[in-house]
Amino acid sequence: MLVVQALSTARFSALSLRVVSGASRRYSTPANIPDSKVWASVDEAVKDVKSGDVLLCGGFGLAGIPDTLLGALAKRSEVQDLTGVSNNAGAGDSGLGKLINTKQLGKIVASYPGGNKAFEALYLKGEISLELVPQGTLAERIRAHAAGIPAFYTPTGASTAVEDGAIAVRYKPGGMSAGVEIPGIKKESREINGRKYVLEPAIAGDVAFIRAWKVDEVGNCVFRYTAQNFSTVMAKNAKLTIVEAEQVVPVGSISPNAIHLPGIYVDRIVQATSPKKIEFVTLATSGAKEDTSVTPEKAAAQAQRRYIARRAAKEIQDGFHVNLGIGMPTLVPEYLAPGVRVWLQSENGILGMGPYPTKKQLDADLINAGKETVTLLPGASVFDSSESFAMIRGGHIDVAILGAMEVSQKGDIANFMIPGKLVKGIGGAMDLVSNPDKTKVIVTMEHCARDGSPKILKECALPLTGAGTVSQIITELAVFDVDRKNGGGLTLIDVAKGVTVEEVKAKTGCDFKVSPNLGTW
């Protein structure tokens, strides 16, 4: 054997080069490539899923949904009483909706199941169980088990129904009027550095169904745009991870720098055959034509929402990182002052979200938290749900603007459910309000409910999304600052044009102070 050592005096002064000659090349590990993990039959690939398993299902809305695998499992009617873990409960015959339709699910663990009306009806009638989990907590509970962590403390959900276990897991047959069969899960809490946290247990999956864009034959995966969402943490978690690939590529054809999920986490690969779907196709409008089909009442409501959004836009400064809730908050960017540029964050994995696409730009893998199609700005980045909520809980977002059903004078917010009537879900809202000292929480909403009752109250009657988290309330009548750090209290700082303080008092369900520098807009 000949060994040559060379020292470079130019660029690599500390590097020694060993050149080894011999009959064969030597490696610390074998050079041959492991056997392929690709299965020819999707039916065979899912054959080991059994009744009672915890099934982790990747996807957000309809982006990144493993419908090829779910379709194969739906044909196995003997597999029953599954626990489905996913952000959503599917929609129609997609996602967990496939297994709801075949009655193979006994329980769903989800963040926002309300998009599936069939599931919502089953839950309210006591025919299926639901563990409702904040979206960021769901991602972190899945990630924790994958990392060997049995539980963790989080500020998300503290002093809410999540901590108290006030959301029933299952009603008795007949629904809410018949009583609760399985009560909600109470959480342990403790104070750390002056803040309250709840203890959340990790979720352990038996099987994970994942959809990826490119997968090589040994399981290295690349996801495309927002189709990544929960998929990476779910794949790392389960005892058996099966990936349906849009493209199966040879080993070595994916750059190591581009791999989102290393092959060590993947057990089986099948070819994806289900088409991509879009839940809400939302396109940019040219503004050339006025919609004459809108009724005067609806036109007035739209104008009111835009009036509120215009005022909220004044709270946004140049360079801010901003998260906008679904609905009215999404109108805010239209009214930013000239020269104000912001980075919009979407909790399903975007920083640098752009406007709605043209028809030519439409992409099923690029959606916002409301499942609407969007675009990306230059400089944007995409990432998984765990990363997204680390940004949020860590206070890296400057402003979060949310809608609400009720807000209290202490800054409590309720915006996710009406017990026994509406189970849309928590979504990312509890996480978005979990660090109000670093992220300013602004609520935009109508001042009164449809029946004329006030939505700004002394105490919220509905289950809380966050306690003492709101810093500002903006309605079509008024703007209030909330003194949440000193136990609560509202100060009226602005009134809408033509609105008097007396009118605001008459339509507000609590006392408030009036700023000596009361403004208008």
Instruction: Find the mean pLDDT for residues 464-487.
Output: 96
- Is the pLDDT at 390 greater than 70, yes or no? yes
Q: Which of 41-55, 91-105, 412-426, 459-473 has the lowest mean pLDDT?
A: 412-426
Dmax over CA atoms of the chain, in Å, equals: 96
- Judged by DSSP in three states, 4 sits in strand
What's the average model confidence in pLDDT over 67-94? 97
| 222 class by beta-carbon count within 10 Å (0-12 exposed, 13-18 middle, 19+ buried) | buried
Please determine, for residue 11, whether its predicted confidence score (pLDDT) is greater than 80.
no
Active-site option among 163, 246, 315, 347: 347
Q: What is the DSSP string of 313-336?
A: HTT--TT-EEEE-SSGGGGGGGGP
Other CB atoms within a 10 A radius of the CB of residue 356 amount to 17
User: What is the pLDDT, as a whole number, of residue 15?
Assistant: 45
pTM of the shown model: 0.92
pLDDT of residue 18: 52
Residue 419 has pLDDT above 70, yes or no: yes
Mean pLDDT of 259-284: 97
Asked whether 453 and 507 are in contact (CB, 8 A), the reply is no
pLDDT in tens, 22-62: 445 555 656 677 789 999 999 999 999 999 999 999 999 99
Q: What is residue 12's predicted lDDT score, i.e. its pLDDT?
A: 41
Average pLDDT over residues 399-411: 97
| Whether 349 contacts 357, CB under 8 Å | no
Please report the pLDDT score of residue 291 as a whole number.
60
Q: What is the pLDDT of residue 487?
A: 86
Residue 17 has pLDDT above 50, yes or no: no
Residue 369, pLDDT above cutoff 90:
yes
| Non-local CB neighbours of 351 within 8 Å, separated by 6+ positions | 321, 343, 344, 345, 380, 381, 382, 383, 391
Question: By the 8 A CB rule, do 45 and 268 touch?
Answer: yes
Instruction: Please give the pLDDT value at position 292.
Output: 64
Quickly list DSSP for 184-228: -----EEEETTEEEEEEE----SEEEEEEEEEETT--EE--GGG-
Q: What is the mean pLDDT of residues 317-341?
A: 95
SS3 state at 312: helix
Over residues 355-375, the mean pLDDT reads 96
* Dihedral over Cα of 499, 502, 508, 512: its sign: positive
Q: Out of 7-21, 81-95, 107-121, 398-412, which region has the weakest mean confidence (pLDDT)? A: 7-21
Structure confidence at residue 294 as a pLDDT band (50, 70, 90): confident
129-167 pLDDT per residue, tens = 999 999 999 999 999 999 999 999 999 999 999 999 999
Residue 7: per-residue pLDDT? 41
Contact between 370 and 411 (Cβ < 8 Å): no
Phi, psi of 442 (to 5 degrees): -115, 130
**b/e sequence 159-186, b meaning 16+ C-beta within 10 Å:** bbbbbbeebbbbbeeeeeeeeeeeebbe
Two structure tokens written together for 490: 């509202």
Q: For 83-104, what is the mean pLDDT?
A: 96
Q: What percent of the chain has pLDDT over 70?
A: 93
Please, what is the average pLDDT of the chain? 93
Q: What is the Cα–Cα distance from 344 to 381, expressed in whole angstroms? A: 11
Average pLDDT over residues 261-281: 97
Residue 347 annotated as catalytic: yes
> Cα(91)–Cα(332) distance, rounded to whole angstroms?
29
For the ranges 152-161, 230-239, 292-301, the lowest mean pLDDT is seen at 292-301
Q: 309 pLDDT exceeds 80? A: yes
